[in-house]
Amino acid sequence: MKRFFTPILAAFVGLSLVSCEFDANPLWQEIDGVKERVDNLEVSVNKNNNDIAALQTIIEALQKNVYVTAVNTTSEGYTISFSDGKTATLSNGKDGAAGVNAPAISVAKDGTDGNYYWTLDGEWLMVDGQRVRANGTDGKDGANGNDGQDGVDGADAVAPQVRINPLTKIWEISIDGGKTWESTDVVAEGKNGTNGSDGADGDDGAAGDSMFKAVDCTNPDYVIVVLADNTVIKLARYDESAPRFEIENAAERLEVEYGKSVELEVTTANVADYTINLPEGWKATFADDLLTVTAPAKDLCHYDKEGVLAVTVVSQTGRSAIAKLGVMAGEWVTVEEYEVRTLTFEDVDAKFTSYALEPSGKPIEKWSDLVDDAQYGGTLTYGDYSGGDYYWYDEGNTELFHSFVTPYWGGGHVISNYVIEDFATLPEGNNGWYELQMCTPMGGNRGSANFAVHNGYSDFFNSQIYDASLQGFEFADGVERVVESMYVTNTNYMLNSLCFGDGFNQPANESTWIKLVAYGYNSSDELTGTSEFLLCKGAEDILVEWAKWDLSSLGKVAKITFNFEASEDQIGQYGMNCPAYFAYDDVAVKFASQMQKFE
């Protein structure tokens, strides 16, 4: 930093030769003061995050009924070692970072459910209206019958993280691993830290910016940790004269099917006698380092579905310890979970395998490769390749697929990125309105580049003179799924026709309406339902922006086709006169997966 200010000092030194003497010491003192404050802030952040990690290790030790095997004094406080191999390093708060305020993060035990929850400034830390657990939570129910996916034990609890916002100098807190941060309204600068004082009988003070106030190692059965907010945590202590009863790999809650038994391995030492207390209807035995727990039968008249199993062990010398285990009776049921995937038509979201359109041979590696080189008469959809195949497949994502035989005037869905803001003015040339068929005034939904354009309809006239099969999309893998929604809008071709009329049609009036109809079909080609959406509701209500169309009423479908319906003023002796085009984007599909849940 001093190199940065050297030119400034040189200027002042030059001035002193002709005027007065300049004293640079106050400037360097101020610079050093700034650096010291920055260093103090960084030290305080690191210390708080380390204390949070240590506190969670302590809470996990309580949850898992592990013992304290050693307490060692360090230059910064204590290191507590546990029988499961983990350690927690507690700072004593001496020589706290000067001039730094810190949020008061702690834990508190709920007297109702017995769980520990994080607190902030003495109040429950709330996220989405829920308290944040400090002791472990159950993982996703796995198919193998244990907590966690594929039988893995429940996931670790959430540990908050803290930081100081570099702009506002306000402490912020995150409970999702640093992805999002919320203000604590605590300003980091402005308060001098307080040095902790040595406590009596091995109790080091923990004032300053530490979360720990004292550690009492005088009790032969327990190590007592006192937090800064005076919360007291008692950790069972183990030595050669103490009894030991540790349930190996114990989850927070043992889930046992009705009427069935589960065996748990136990590590023991110095156990002369024991007693087991159980919820009503439960049974348990202990022999040969195995704890066997039996859930009540489902048809039993009186039983507790869940509760706490407590094993009290006593040594030859009369020392005792208690191991607790949450238990729940139930059964595994199959439930469905859903993931929503969206077809965006954007290149960054392309997952499909590259292919070539025949007979043109054009390689398709991303969505924009499917955009034709002209809105009308292009080589991919018209041109010299009539009778060729134009198709796209959202492989690896929604699995939606569409294909049509060129030329495009026979109907189909093309990918486009054409934008013409002024839909009132026809492009120059002989093609007129057709040069508006693949464009919108604003591009894709939410300002994206790519979208799809539908062309095609069937009515009393065109269905009689040629094959006017309805265009749509389907799931290439044949699986029936729910299409939740898609965004739709009018193309410039439709907007120009409805607003100003064209060679085939008259402008919309107050009675004009244009309706889209979606038809859902299952894998047996049976109709599952229909859904309607209005593109025009009179001359003053013509859709000129993207709008969401809810398609969930169609249910699980293998394919969806689309058709147009129109008011009488838009229909002539040869059928519907207005263009049968609309644009769509962001098709949301629900993907269901089955899982086993313990209830």
If asked whether residues 202 and 345 sit together in one domain, one would say no
DSSP codes of every residue in 334-391: EEEEEEEEEE---GGG--SPPEEETTTTEEE-SGGGGB-SSSSS-TTTSTT-TT-EEE
- Of the candidates 295, 330, 365, which is a domain's last residue? 330
Q: Which of the 8 DSSP states describes residue 240?
A: T
For strands 253-257 and 320-330, give the pairing: parallel
For the chain, 599 residues long, give each residue's pLDDT as a single digit of tens: 333 333 333 333 333 333 345 454 554 445 445 455 556 778 888 888 889 889 989 888 887 778 888 899 888 889 999 888 889 998 875 444 455 678 888 888 887 777 888 888 888 888 878 888 887 644 333 333 333 333 333 344 678 888 888 888 888 888 888 888 888 888 886 544 333 333 333 343 353 467 888 899 888 788 999 998 889 998 888 777 778 888 888 777 899 999 999 999 999 888 999 999 999 999 999 999 999 999 999 999 899 999 999 999 998 888 888 888 899 999 999 888 899 999 999 999 999 999 999 888 899 999 999 999 999 988 899 866 567 889 999 999 999 999 999 999 889 999 999 999 998 887 766 567 788 899 999 999 999 999 999 999 988 766 544 445 799 999 999 999 999 999 999 999 999 999 998 878 899 999 999 999 999 999 999 999 999 999 999 999 999 999 999 999 999 999 999 999 999 999 888 788 899 999 999 999 999 888 888 88
Q: Is residue 570 part of a domain?
A: yes
Q: Is residue 22 part of a domain?
A: no
Domain that holds residue 258: 249-330
Q: Distance (Å, rounded) from C-alpha 366 to C-alpha 368?
A: 6
For residue 301, the domain's CATH number is 2.60.40.10
Q: Is residue 21 part of a domain?
A: no
If asked whether residues 588 and 538 sit together in one domain, one would say yes
pLDDT of residue 62: 82
Q: Is residue 173 part of a domain?
A: yes
Q: Distance (Å, rounded) from C-alpha 564 to C-alpha 59?
A: 63
Q: Is residue 278 part of a domain?
A: yes
What is the token pair recorded at 591?
């993907």
If asked whether residues 391 and 448 sit together in one domain, one would say yes
- Of the candidates 207, 236, 265, which is a domain's last residue? 236
Q: Is residue 36 part of a domain?
A: no
What is the token pair recorded at 385?
């390749």
Q: Is residue 33 part of a domain?
A: no
If asked whether residues 270 and 196 sit together in one domain, one would say no
Residue 171: count other Cβ atoms within 10 Å of its Cβ: 26
How long, in residues, is the chain? 599
If asked whether residues 308 and 420 sit together in one domain, one would say no
If asked whether residues 383 and 503 sit together in one domain, one would say yes
If asked whether residues 232 and 260 sit together in one domain, one would say no
- Of the candidates 310, 330, 350, which is a domain's last residue? 330
pLDDT of residue 221: 80
pLDDT of residue 198: 39
Q: Distance (Å, rounded) from C-alpha 413 to C-alpha 595?
A: 36
Taking CA atoms, 280 is separated from 9, 296, 301, 308, in Å, by 82, 8, 11, 10
If asked whether residues 461 and 530 sit together in one domain, one would say yes
Interacting residues of 585 by C-beta distance below 8 A, sequence separation 6+: 344, 345, 444, 445, 448, 450, 451, 452, 486, 487, 546
What is the token pair recorded at 533?
């959406």
What is the token pair recorded at 569?
């003023």
If asked whether residues 291 and 167 sit together in one domain, one would say no
If asked whether residues 309 and 350 sit together in one domain, one would say no
What angle is formed at CA 311 by the lines to CA 307 and CA 316, rounded to 5 degrees? 170
**Domain total in the chain:** 3
Q: Is residue 4 part of a domain?
A: no
If asked whether residues 231 and 257 sit together in one domain, one would say no
What is the token pair recorded at 236?
């069972």
If asked whether residues 290 and 356 sit together in one domain, one would say no
For residue 463, the domain's CATH number is 2.60.120.1350
